[in-house]
A and B are shown apart, each in its own frame.
Chain A
Amino acid sequence: MARAAVRGRLNWSLGEVVDLIDETPRVRSIVLDVPEWIGHRAGQHVDVRLTAEDGYQAQRSYSIASAPEDRRLALTVEGLPDGEVSSYLVGELRTGDRIELRGPVGGYFVWEADMGGPLLLVAGGSGIVPLMSMLRHRNASGAAVGAKLLYSSRSWEDVIYRDELERLASATNGPEVVHTLTRSQPPGWNGYARRVDGQMLAETAWPASGEPSAFVCGPTPFVESVAAALVLLGYPTTTVKTERFGPTGG
């Protein structure tokens, strides 16, 4: 196995695919067994590297979806139309296959129960993945911290973890989950039906006076407009943590 050219903390290791879950038509979760996994913090990600037989390599980062308390590591990947890595992970990968991972990485965009709250999580599309890890961790740890999730998706069919979010929300002390569906809505929908804007955040976010911690994740333009709107609502910039996924997310 190739080694890092410089000696740091991280090397590439191999994870074995033990389960594959189709979350939506385009999104799949990959559950991995990674021997010697040192554990992770909610919000961190891994880098995945694929190597073809002729040595050609491609590498992408994917947020960890599972809680630190979970025994196995789960990644959730959105298949992008010309994504050479994502289309392999969502289409070709089978249980029993192995993939090279480096990580966990990240220390800025993380939340642990002892960091307190209340928590405001704002997700655009596949930006939900690291925030789901935070919600799963909050649930598993029993943290007594308020949490609100504002989640923007194209349609109801594109909402990742839809049923689990409903279950979490309906439990005692569960998070408050608000969806906005930007392209199409199911019949009878009376929720938000537009892109996240300042007005929507004013109606759904914790007031700044409660000193909330905000985590915003998704495509770059989404993250930047939401972060700017939160600052206008009075959130100090140091309390708004961002993770930009680039043009399309994930």
Chain B
Amino acid sequence: MAYVSRGFRGKRAKEREESRLPPGQYLVDDFPVLSAGPTPHTPLDQWTFTIESEVAELKRWSWESFRALPGEEVRADIHCVTKWSKLDTTWEGVSIDTLLEGVEHDATHAMVFSDGDYLTNIPLEDLLDGKAWVAFAFDGSPLEPEHGGPARLLVPHLYFWKSAKWVRGLRLMDHDEPGFWESYGYHIYGDPWREQRYAGD
């Protein structure tokens, strides 16, 4: 291990809540902002969310039609691969189950795409049955741009790099393919409870 710095404790604020923290994680009070690029600012009247197959667009919503869909309140613990975790975060969003209603497909995976050319891949079953949302509010207020607003994907059971900020749609696929971080060595699936941070973990 590296040289231990006398008296350095770091920013962990509380004792670990052992049962709720996945291995290697520490608890934070704030909400760290991590970004791989400039914050996009797509005007709401140009914002769309689309579901696509490899060859065609299957469904599209404008901001107005998206916000007319039934929303849900979500309470979740979130875990970032950079080791911070935040418990009991509250969100409001539209379930992916709602978005995929009536869409005919035989996809096994989805590539999630966002403004700023960000991509992340997720098995379809990890997006269904109440496990994922397109979230537009955090902690009772509209989602701020630095945290992914106007809308981000929320998939709390996987490392938070999969909860793509500034989400604009899903491309349904019949195979798996690495997204942005996955193609640079991050785990293709990303289960925090099995500590799947990097490829090969």
Question: Could you tell me if B11 and A51 are in contact, using CB atoms closer than 8 angstroms?
Answer: no
Determine if B44 is an interface residue (Cβ-Cβ < 8 Å). no
Interface string of B6-35 (1 = CB under 8 A from A): 111111100000000000001000100000
Q: Distance (Å) between the CB of A107 and the closest chain B CB?
A: 25
Chain A residue contacts of B3, Cβ below 8 A: 1, 12, 14, 51, 98, 100
| Number of chain A residues whose Cβ lies closer than 8 Å to a Cβ of chain B | 22
Contacting pair A51 B30 (CB below 8 A)? no
B6/A100 in contact, CB under 8 A: no
Q: Which of B5, B9, B10, B11 has the most CB of A within 10 A?
A: B5
Residue of A nearest to B4 (CB): A51
Is the CB of B1 closer than 8 A to any CB of chain A?
A: yes
Pick from A84, A88, A92, A100: contact of B2, CB under 8 Å? A100
A-B contact pairs, 9 of them (CB 8 A): A14-B3, A49-B2, A52-B10, A56-B12, A56-B26, A58-B8, A92-B8, A97-B5, A100-B2
| Cα of A82 to Cα of B6 in the assembled complex, Å | 20
Determine if B1 and A2 form an interchain contact, defined as CB atoms under 8 angstroms apart: yes
Count: A-B pairs, CB below 8 Å: 50
For B12, the chain A residues whose CB sits under 8 A away are 56
Flag whether A163 is at the interface (Cβ < 8 A): no
In contact, B10 and A58 (Cβ under 8 angstroms): yes
* Sample of 13 further A-B pairs with CB below 8 A, known A1-B2, A57-B2, A88-B7: A2-B2, A50-B5, A51-B1, A51-B4, A52-B5, A53-B4, A56-B12, A58-B8, A88-B8, A92-B7, A97-B5, A98-B3, A99-B5
Q: Is the interface of B mostly helix, strand, loop or mixed?
A: loop
A57 to B24, CA, bound (A): 12
Partner of B10, one of A12, A56, A99: A56
Query: Are the CB atoms of B2 and A52 closer together than 8 Å?
Result: no
A49 (CB) vs chain B CBs: closest residue: B2
Residues of B contacting A53 in the complex (Cβ-Cβ under 8 angstroms): 4
Cβ–Cβ contact B2 & A97, under 8 A: no
Distance A13 CA – B34 CA, assembled complex (angstroms): 28
* Chain B: interface residue total (CB-CB under 8 A): 14
Q: Does A55 contact B (CB under 8 A)?
A: yes
Cβ of A84 and Cβ of B1 under 8 Å apart?
no
B11 and A84 contacting across the interface, CB-CB below 8 Å:
yes
Encoded as 1 (CB less than 8 Å from any B CB) or 0, chain A from 50 to 70 comes to 111101111000000000000
Point out the residues of chain B lying under 8 angstroms from A99, CB to CB.
Answer: 5
Contact A82 B4 (CB under 8 A): no
Cα distance A84–B7 in the bound complex, in angstroms: 12
For residue B9, which residues in chain A have a CB less than 8 angstroms away from its CB?
52
Q: How far apart are A26's CB and chain B's nearest CB, in angstroms?
A: 18
- The reply to whether A82 and B11 contact each other, CB–CB distance below 8 Å, is yes
Complex contacts, B6 vs chain A, CB 8 Å: 97
**For window 83-103 of chain A, which residues contact chain B by CB distance below 8 Å?**
84, 88, 92-93, 97-100
List A contacts of B2 (CB < 8 A).
1-2, 12, 49, 51, 57, 100
Contact A84 B10 (CB under 8 A): yes
Kindly report which residue of chain B lies nearest to residue A87, judged by CB atoms: B11
Please give, as numbers and ranges, the residues of chain B lying within 8 Å of A98 by CB-CB distance: 3, 5
For A1, list chain B residues within 8 Å (CB).
2-3
Whether B10 lies near A55 (C-beta < 8 A) is no
Which residue of the partner chain A has the closest CB to B1? A55
Please, which residues of chain A bring their CB within 8 A of the CB of B8?
50-52, 58, 88, 92
Which chain B residue has the least Cβ–Cβ distance from A97? B6
Closest residue of chain B to A58, judged by CB?
B10
Min CB distance B97 to A, Å, is 38
Q: Is B5 in contact with A82, judged by CB distance below 8 angstroms? A: no
Nearest CB in chain A: distance from B120 CB, A: 25
